[in-house]
Chains A and B, each alone.
Chain A
């Protein structure tokens, strides 16, 4: 009896359901017709739906009528959508084929030639990796130099990008350009970067084809973002063989107001004495830096950030010369103040603006040369971004720069004679240039997010050259499936000579901007654990500055660079390793070159391999190997860059141990060994005037050890 009633009840409701509902059934499969279980199939705007079973089958009914959108979602696959028409009593049968999404369910986001560091998934280097990379001395520039496309010109931090000079790479922090991002500045950049990695949240490094948002750079761009509101109070004290440092982060009002303060002082005398050194110092390198980073979040939608930075360094080092050994003395002072505003009123809009002042004052003393240069850069910027839907982003910005260079002191009358007995010439002058720029950039996603097209255009006007310039840049990324992407990029770039090159006596007032065209093609595979990239590029440089007997400089220089970059990184549970290889062929007719020849940064092969292992919870070990082809140099009076120094080899290792002694603190002990094999690398030769005698320029230390401790609480 009971069963009968139940059946009756069931039957009647089925009839009821059938008269008013539509039955939707079908199967979900992948491209190879394999069934896909656990997919969510439903009608948009309703709760009606089902999950596919182990054979990919699903069945549900709906009381909705008329036109509806059927959606089928599955993690890691592109969402499927189809319009269906619901008539009461009908049965709809469907075969749904899902396509794999290119990167973990998201549209293509890979850009040509971009390497990034930060905490997000898929970054090339995490902040910790920057700090623990062997041989990188916890320096962001040194760590970036383990990427392909960067040439090992000397042991410094200078970013020579794909056959471009160090001055052709823009360095930007929180939207503000830093004209002198190096410490212990030298013609090859400098020995370290000024910004410590602990202050940075994210870093993007582009070795070419960068977007229209960045200008006045011919070859590369390094874009850094400083840390945001601190999450918790944290104090760090560090003590090493040559440095002492301290930092505090303090959330004053949770999620509203907070700041970080840090300072470093380094005196390398003990380190050099401990390890022994190959060159004499009249003053051992000494430096300090201070930093303040304050964030005020006035609402969940917007914030102000003030970043203040000051760095000072001095050095007195022997320059070995066959004619007369001289001491070079350099004092540098770097300041930056940047106020940035950010506002995100909705998911569709983003506004940012910043005002910045930076200056770099330097005193250089060598023989008769005694020069003080003060370069000041004032800048303002406003950027608006609109994202009307998932398929389009448009960014527009305006920028203004005022660059002032003050030079005072004495220089040798004959530019090539810097001996103490040379005739001095007094200089006291200043230069000024104003520049305005505007850019428009849009990113368009097509083919279900599988194709990303970037179109950019940049306009600049410079007061010194009276030039107006337009640059067009474009890039294309295409998802090939299985986490593979193809990238193509082409763009025009330019860079104005520094204002002092326009001096009528030592420069040329009619100079124009130098220019470069980049063409890049490559493929990338990126998963959370693995990154593989291979890229080929060609760059044509034009209107480079060429020394000229009558007019000092002209724009008659030119050159090219072409090459291939390969990068592979893999993250196992406790082991992490990456390998970079770059091939480069570059030629330039510029500066003092008498004909088109290899510039000093034409390093044919560059190889870096890094491995890091963490074990027993507390230990971490890393080892790296770097190889570079020798650098071109000139070994006679009638030739130019006709020979190469011996190849460069270097093995570095480090070891760290973490433990806590009391309460919640964390203490890290570390030991780093540089140039383990003790190879004597030669970076250049300096010749006597008649080219009869020469001295090799080597690194200042041969094999060296550094150790220290860092306490965090």
Chain B
């Protein structure tokens, strides 16, 4: 069995060597691997893909994409580590994401996806140090408005805008009332969205449903919440957060309400 495994490992690791001449196909392959790692919420896989993108970076003629995917892996690793209560380590990844995104938008100054992800990362940094919100907040805001002006029809940017608004206090232009229209816009745009190339990011389809579901739950619209979560699961049947956290929570809140009646 052990030799079999060794053989398998050698085989798998040979694959990239063959593809080495063409980094574009590698980027596509690793992008899909990253999406899968995120879907499975698998930290080790995320780290693997991140490392591969680091190796792609000096070889590719599209370095901004490599920077973007490293940052996207960093961002998800950061979230993953936060969920494991390892916030100091998470902070390092978010800082690294910001660094890579700055490089990405420096190379391609019209890279809307880069600006959008940067906005989220600034938002996350506020979580680590609320005391710095006074200048991280405006930076996050500037990045998302830049992204929206560059790509007004990209659903992911509306999704990120919505999540940002969901998290920011009402006094800084946030709140669930402001988040809802952005998320609804994202749902609408995702229906007909197709990235211009297979090299480009293509994630987040279930996102607006997850967040609209959370908002519906907060507003105690249980049926709407249920519908949104089911929509999310229809897109990503293994969405851990929806399946194991949000849906059970919804059912509990519902039964509690019925009991109290």
Contacts and interface: CB of A to CB of B under 8 A. Distances in A.
A52 to B, nearest CB: 9
A366 interface: no
A53 B96 CA distance: 21
Contacts of B56: 47
A75 interface: yes
A673 B204 CA distance: 51
Interface stretch (B14-22, B31-39, B184-192, B222-230): B14-22
B185 to A, nearest CB: 20
Interface residues of B, number: 48
A40 B96 CA distance: 15
B254 interface: no
B129 interface: yes
Most A CB within 10 A of own CB, among B17, B130, B145: B17
Contact of A232 (B50, B51, B142): B142
A48 B17 contact: yes
Contacts of A614: 130-131
Contacts of B139: 231
A51 B48 contact: yes
B179 to A, nearest CB: 15
Interface in B4-28: 6-11, 13-14, 16-17, 19-20, 23, 26
Contacts of A53: 44
A126 B139 CA distance: 16
Given A46-B55, A47-B55, A232 B14 contact: no
B16 A47 contact: yes
Nearest to A59: B9
A157 interface: no
Contact of B135 (A128, A574, A659): A128
Given A13-B11, A47-B55, A75-B96, A232 B141 contact: yes
Looking at chain B's contact residues, the main secondary structure is: helix
B91 interface: yes
Contacts, number: 115
B194 interface: no
B51 A51 contact: yes
Interface in A639-682: 658-660, 663-664, 666
Interface string A1-28: 0000000001101100100010100000
B13 A59 contact: yes
Interface in A116-169: 119, 121, 126-128
Interface stretch (A60-68, A329-337, A690-698): A60-68
B138 interface: yes
A477 B138 CA distance: 36
Given A14-B11, A60-B13, A666 B96 contact: no
21 contacts: A17-B11, A21-B17, A38-B47, A46-B59, A48-B16, A49-B52, A51-B48, A59-B9, A59-B10, A60-B13, A75-B93, A104-B95, A126-B135, A571-B129, A614-B131, A658-B171, A659-B171, A660-B170, A660-B171, A663-B173, A666-B172
Interface of B: 6-11, 13-14, 16-17, 19-20, 23, 26, 44, 47-48, 50-52, 54-56, 58-59, 91-93, 95-96, 109, 128-132, 134-135, 138-139, 141-142, 145, 169-173
